[in-house]
């Protein structure tokens, strides 16, 4: 199997595995009532998800690894044709950020196991604190991975991998998502879903756009 084809497969499989837990998880999870502790709500939603939450966490970590490899490989292929510092930096940030993304998904497993252990009489206390750690990793590493995505995707424009308008739109939305992360970091109200809604909406749009271009690029790489 060629390097192109393997990376293409990773793009497609990674995009699908990333899309399902984020988009489906958010849609099925619902929103907390205004005035209710939002982090407690998301923690409880994860716990109540049971086997589905475990599956989504597994899919999320695997997708992060597959997409990191695909981006790394595509960058290597393009750099061998023509040196592009912006693309190289974007690829590095995506790979670096993917580590944090994969780690954040692992905390779902920790929360689920912790809650189950506590119910069974274990000594685990305050397993909800795992969600606070996860949220912090998600914001900080999320800023890194989406900045890298914006740079990398913009560098793919005019290279024939996917529709240029789609790539430009994805890059711009990724930058907007970074702004919503920063806004959430400094202006979050822990009893108001409205304070983090811009981040969630931008995330869903960005994941949708990214999934489309990743599948198109993956298909292109497999065909070539």
| Mean pLDDT value across residues 164-178 | 97
Burial zone of 14 (CB within 10 Å; 0-12 exposed, 13-18 middle, 19+ buried): buried
- The separation between CA 173 and the C-alpha centre of its own chain, rounded to angstroms, equals 14
Rounded Cα distance between 17 and 5, Å, is: 18
Share of the chain above pLDDT 90, in %: 68
Q: pLDDT at position 202, please?
A: 95
**How far lies 45's CA from each of 59, 63, 87, 206, in Å?**
17, 22, 38, 23
Model's pTM, two decimal places?
0.91
Q: pLDDT at position 127, please?
A: 56
Other beta carbons less than 10 A from residue 128's beta carbon: 18
113 has pLDDT over 70:
yes
136 has pLDDT over 80:
yes
| Mean pLDDT value across residues 181-203 | 92
Rounded Cα distance between 57 and 170, Å, is: 24
Confidence of residue 208 (pLDDT cuts 50, 70, 90): very high
| Mean pLDDT value across residues 128-156 | 91
121 has pLDDT over 50:
no
Greater confidence (118 vs 170) lies with: 170
124 has pLDDT over 60:
no
128 has pLDDT over 70:
no
Q: pLDDT at position 115, please?
A: 75
130 has pLDDT over 90:
no
Confidence of residue 154 (pLDDT cuts 50, 70, 90): very high
Rounded Cα distance between 193 and 178, Å, is: 18
CA-based R_g, the chain, Å? 18
Q: Which domain holds residue 27?
A: 3-223
Contacts of 171 (CB under 8 A, 6+ apart): 149, 150, 151, 153, 154
Burial zone of 119 (CB within 10 Å; 0-12 exposed, 13-18 middle, 19+ buried): exposed
Give the mean pLDDT of the chain.
90
Domain total of the chain: 1
Rounded Cα distance between 23 and 9, Å, is: 21
129 has pLDDT over 80:
no
125 has pLDDT over 70:
no
Confidence of residue 118 (pLDDT cuts 50, 70, 90): low
Rounded Cα distance between 191 and 210, Å, is: 31
């Amino acid at each position: 199997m060629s390097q192109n084809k393997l990376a293409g497969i990773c793009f497609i499989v990674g995009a699908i595995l990333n899309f399902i837990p984020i988009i489906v998880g958010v849609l099925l999870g619902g929103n907390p009532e205004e005035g209710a502790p939002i982090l407690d709500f998301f923690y409880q939603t994860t716990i109540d998800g049971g086997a589905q939450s475990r599956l989504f966490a597994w899919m999320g970590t695997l997708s992060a690894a597959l997409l990191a490899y695909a981006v790394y490989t595509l960058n290597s292929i393009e750099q061998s044709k023509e040196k592009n510092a912006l693309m190289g930096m974007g690829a590095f940030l995506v790979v670096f950020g993917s580590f944090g993304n994969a780690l954040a998904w692992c905390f779902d497993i920790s929360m689920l196991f912790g809650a189950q252990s506590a119910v069974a009489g274990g000594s685990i206390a305050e397993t909800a604190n795992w969600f606070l750690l996860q949220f912090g990793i998600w914001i900080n590493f999320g800023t890194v991975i989406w900045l890298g995505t914006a740079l990398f995707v913009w560098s793919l424009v005019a290279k024939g991998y996917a529709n240029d308008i789609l790539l430009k739109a994805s890059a711009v939305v990724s930058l907007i998502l970074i702004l919503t992360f920063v806004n959430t970091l400094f202006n979050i109200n822990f009893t108001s879903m409205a304070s983090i809604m811009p981040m969630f909406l931008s995330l869903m749009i960005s994941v949708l756009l990214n999934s489309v271009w990743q599948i198109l690029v993956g298909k292109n790489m497999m065909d070539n």
